[in-house]
Amino acid sequence: MIQPVLKDIVITGNPNIHGKLEFTETEDIGDDFYLSGTACIGTEDDTGAYNFDFGIITPKALERELKESSDIITGAKCFIVSRLDFELITNKINQILLQHEGDTWEDIAVNLAPYFDWEYTGSVRLNSEEELLEMIRRHQEESLN
């Protein structure tokens, strides 16, 4: 079984609003923001990691989005927070990861889907050169029709 482990977190935002693009530690940016996060998740004994994306939004920003955008917003893959706090976000992600192990990374990605978008979601996995050539041939035929 693969037990996923959080290796790093990258949080980015709008530099025009917050003065910088990437946040590397807790800081006071107020209570009205919607940021993008990436959890870099691997295994304890591996140096590499897969990227799992999520949003971070405050109630005030959520209310603004509802007023400006639409009457409904789906809430999947988003953490609602009162402030930007790396320790709280890290702890929550670690809690989630402890509950979701799997035989393959595909299994783990399916289990983590309510919380994150895996970088390979929707990707095509090819098992041989023949499969690649067949996919190219089909694509060429479809382009001609």
Q: Helix/strand/coil (H, E, C) string of the chain?
A: CECCEEEEEEEECCHHHHCCCEECCCCCCCCCCEEEEEEEEECCCCCCCEEEEEEEECHHHHHHHHHHCCCCCCCCCEEECCCCCHHHHHHHHHHHHHCCCECCHHHHHHHHCCCCEECCCCCCCCCCHHHHHHHHHHHHHHHHC
For the entire predicted model, the pTM comes to 0.79
pLDDT of residue 22: 77
User: What band does 126 get if pLDDT is binned at 50, 70 and 90?
Assistant: low
- In this prediction, residues 91-100 reach a mean pLDDT of 96
Residue range 39-80, pLDDT digits in tens? 999 999 999 999 999 999 999 988 888 888 777 777 779 999
pLDDT for 15 beyond 80: no
User: What band does 128 get if pLDDT is binned at 50, 70 and 90?
Assistant: confident
pLDDT, greater one: 71 or 96: 96
